[in-house]
Structure 1
Amino acid sequence: MNVSDSSPYRYLLFYKPYNVLCQFTDDSPTAAQRQTLKDYIPIPGVYPVGRLDQDSEGLLLLTNHGQLQHRLSDPKFRHPRTYWVQVERIPDAAAIRQLQQGVVIQGYKTRPAQVVLLTQAPDLPPRDPPVRFRKTVPTAWLAITLTEGRNRQVRRMTAAVGFPTLRLVRSQIGNLSLTGLQPGEWRDLTPSELRYLKSL
């Protein structure tokens, strides 16, 4: 492992698959059908920093370091998070500019964001189950970097400008990335990643 045995803290990166709850327990009546983090991560006492919806995929940071977890989760610190977003149809320059400047969702205007229309799809494993496409409607991929994390924000932002989200994958938290991980895999942070995390 990359963490010293003398440290009481663990810091994990996990590639959350589609349709997995971002929690370790599920008390709903359908609990038998829903996977949780417990199905993938055998480390006791760690908790996610922030959340990913059940129908979203990608990078999740977990730790048992409560102070760091609180600091990284607090919106006032504005830590950047980057998402690869597959949308229905191809956004025009006006829609991208609107996303960059901020859009109103649920009576709130989002903070300015970095938004780039990707020239090709990111190299991702196929989703299980696959995304449902309309054969007559093209799709496109955006890279969106936010410094806030409201509930279902990316989906609501793209819908607000007329381009519904089909697939959503968080690719980065600051300079931490999915590189080297497949869906369902986790690892400890490297010493350099941990230094970065503590510098935030």
Structure 2
Amino acid sequence: MEASKTQHRHFIIFKPFGCLSQFASNDSKQQSKIFLGSLHDFPEGIMAIGRLDEKSEGILLLTTDGKMSAHINSRKVEKEYYAQVDGDISTEALQELKTGVEIGFDGGKYKTKPCKAMKLEGAPDLPNRGKKIRDDRHGPTSWVSITLKEGKFRQVRKMTSAVGFPTLRLVRVRVGGIHINNMQAGDVVEVDDFGVSVV
């Protein structure tokens, strides 16, 4: 058992704004994009556990272990996001996020599962983003923490938009027990494991 563990390699990265959660693309329109492979010399067989869209930032886990990837992608492991939204988010909107909202998904409608959502007291301490967000001269913004155990395509952005507060900046700050801590955009850390046991 121990021998198989040591064969796999695991990485925590802070995916920067504008980077795609993939290693290459055959799409000619994407050739000028930034890919994960430009951040580090990753081993063969590495895969991203889930994705963050191009404009989203934060923790992305990479592994050579398919079982680990499937477990973390399952609905057992929490993912926490900090979203800067357009406007001063209301108590009513937070309650809607908590209980579940209807979003468009895969050509149909999907009701999100209940989740944790709370307004943050002021802006969190995060690295500067590569592209500046508009400032409060164009109207107030606020920050909300949203913790999910699911991960539909662009789910957090669709959720905040559904309650009337579109997301301006989105950072995944935690996956399970792994926190962003003092990582900076583009940082790559290799770890022995993710502290998650796979049965």
Q: Same fold (TM over 0.5)?
A: yes
Q: 1:195 to 1:95 in 2, by over 3 A?
A: closer
* TM, length-normalised to structure 1: 0.90
Q: Distance in 2 between matches of 1:136 and 1:21?
A: 29
1:16–1:57 contact (8 Å) kept in structure 2: yes
Q: Give how far 1:52 is off.
A: 0.4
Q: Give how far 1:195 is off.
A: 6.5
SS at match of 1:198: coil
In structure 1, what residue type is equivalent to 2:122?
Q
Q: Distance in 1 between matches of 2:12 and 2:42?
A: 12
2:10–2:194 contact (8 Å) kept in structure 1: no
What is the aligned partner in structure 1 of residue 119 from structure 2? 117
Q: Distance in 1 between matches of 2:114 and 2:76?
A: 11
2:68–2:198 contact (8 Å) kept in structure 1: no
What is the aligned partner in structure 1 of residue 80 from structure 2? 82
What is the aligned partner in structure 1 of residue 39 from structure 2? 40
User: Is the aligned partner of 1:53 residue 2:80?
Assistant: no
Farther off after superposition, 163-172 or 106-115: 106-115
In structure 2, what residue type is equivalent to 1:82?
E
Q: Distance in 1 between matches of 2:9 and 2:95?
A: 40
Q: Distance in 2 between matches of 1:12 and 1:148?
A: 21
1:89–1:137 contact (8 Å) kept in structure 2: yes
What is the aligned partner in structure 1 of residue 97 from structure 2? 99
Q: 1:89 to 1:26 in 2, by over 3 A?
A: same
SS at match of 2:58: strand
In structure 1, what residue type is equivalent to 2:183?
L
Structure 1 or 2: larger strand share? 2
In structure 1, what residue type is equivalent to 2:111?
K
What is the aligned partner in structure 1 of residue 163 from structure 2? 161
Q: Give how far 1:66 is off.
A: 1.1
User: Is the aligned partner of 1:136 residue 2:138?
Assistant: yes
Deviations 1:17-66 (CA, angstroms, capped at 9, x unpaired): 00000000022223332000010021122111011001100000000011
Q: 1:134 to 1:30 in 2, by over 3 A?
A: farther
2:101–2:159 contact (8 Å) kept in structure 1: yes
1:26–1:34 contact (8 Å) kept in structure 2: no
| Unpaired runs of at least 5, structure 1 | none
User: Is the aligned partner of 1:11 residue 2:10?
Assistant: yes
User: Is the aligned partner of 1:73 residue 2:53?
Assistant: no
Q: Give how far 1:125 is off.
A: 1.4
Q: 1:61 to 1:195 in 2, by over 3 A?
A: closer
